[in-house]
Amino acid sequence: MHANYHKYLLNFKRPSGTSRGVLTTKETWFLVISSEGKTGIGECGILRSLSVDDRPGYEEKLKWVCNNITLGPKLLWEELLEFPSIQFGVEMAFKSLASQNPFILFPSEFTNGQKAIPINGLVWMGEKSFMKQQIVEKIQHGFSCIKLKIGAIDFKAELDLLDYIRTEFSSEDIEIRVDANGAFPVEEALNKLKRLCEFDIHSIEQPIKQGQFEKMAELCRESPIPIALDEELIGITSVTKKEELLQIIKPQYVIFKPSLIGGFRGTQEWLDIAKKLKIGWWVTSALESNVGLNTIAQWTFTKESPMPQGLGTGGLYTNNFDSPLQVKNGSIQYDPKINWDFDL
Task: Write the CB contacts of 29 (distance below 8 Å, at least 6 apart in sequence).
Answer: 5, 6, 7, 8, 43, 44, 46, 62, 89
Q: Which amino acid is at 29?
A: W
Residue 331's DSSP bridge partners are: 118, 328
Contacts 24+ apart (CB under 8 A), 15-18: 16/124, 16/125, 16/316, 17/124, 17/125, 17/126, 17/149, 17/152, 18/124, 18/125, 18/149, 18/152, 18/181
Residue 341's DSSP bridge partners are: 322
In degrees and rounded to multiples of 5, residue 21 shows phi and psi of 130, 180
Task: Write the CB contacts of 272 (distance below 8 Å, at least 6 apart in sequence).
Answer: none
Active site residues: 149, 257
Task: Write the CB contacts of 162 (distance below 8 Å, at least 6 apart in sequence).
Answer: 148, 176, 178, 196, 199, 201
Tell me if 139 sits within 8 A of 173, measured CB to CB: no
Helix axis angle, 58-67 relative to 84-98, nearest 10°?
30
**Residue (of 215, 192, 167, 205) closest to 284 by Cα position:** 205
